[in-house]
Amino acid sequence: MALREILTVPNPVLKQASKPVETVDDELRALMDDMLETMYAAPGIGLAAIQVGVPKRVIVMDLARPEEDKQPRYFVNPEILWRSDDTAPYEEGCLSVPEYYDEVERPARVKLRYLNYQGEQVEEDAEGLFAVCIQHEMDHLDGVLFIDHLSRLKREQAIKKVKKQAKAA
């Protein structure tokens, strides 16, 4: 396993749409393992492959609290089959927009289908933090960042803040 660089705004790669994965093989599992290690080191709770410069429809996630055992999740070619009409606001952050947080309104519940780490198809319902996180990460697969859901002014402020931090580093 290896740590990978997490791309930050305004890197144009983050605006690319990711391509579907043909097969879940050892090479893809190695990518997912690297992504998970990178996410834990950041630290974060979700990471899409495009955030490490790989335009594949792959997400890793772990919503376990710090005091709990790790609960890694893997999502290959995830798709939302259903969204609830009711929405819920949630303060989101993103490893590609470091140190910036803002409230985003998303469907409160979703039903999704994806391939797991073994390549088996799974369907499940998501609500709460899981629903927020999977929708946030799936946006990345289509070249959308959480700041794209905000006003133009807030989006520009977020990008400016990240650029300023990068210069200071």
Only one residue has tokens 């946030």, namely 136
Q: In this structure, which CATH number among 3.40.50.2000, 3.30.420.40, 2.60.15.10, 3.90.45.10 belongs to the domain 12-168?
A: 3.90.45.10
Confidence of residue 43 (pLDDT cuts 50, 70, 90): very high
Element (H, E) at 111: strand 109-115
Residue 76 has pLDDT above 80, yes or no: yes
Give the pLDDT confidence score for residue 166 in this predicted structure.
84
Show the tokens assigned to 141.
Answer: 């697969």
Query: Phi and psi dihedrals of 120, rounded to 5?
Result: -85, 140
Element (H, E) at 103: strand 97-107
Q: Cα–Cα distance between 82 and 106 in angstroms, integer?
A: 13
Cβ distance 32 to 117 under 8 Å? yes
3-state secondary structure of 154: helix
Show the tokens assigned to 108.
Answer: 């409160």
Q: Cα–Cα distance between 168 and 162 in angstroms, integer?
A: 10
Known catalytic residues?
137
Give the pLDDT confidence score for residue 168 in this predicted structure.
84
Classify residue 85 by burial, with Cβ atoms within 10 Å: 0-12, 13-18, 19+. exposed
Q: What is the mean pLDDT of residues 21-28?
A: 97
Per-residue CA distances from 166 to 45, 62, 97, 160 (Å): 22, 27, 11, 10
Give the pLDDT confidence score for residue 136 in this predicted structure.
98
Give me the residues paired with residue 58 across strands: 76
Q: What is the mean pLDDT of residues 157-168?
A: 90
Give me the residues paired with residue 113 across strands: 79, 123
Give the residue from 112, 102, 119, 153 showing the smallest Cα distance to 135.
112
Confidence of residue 5 (pLDDT cuts 50, 70, 90): very high
Altogether, the residues listed in the chain come to a count of 169
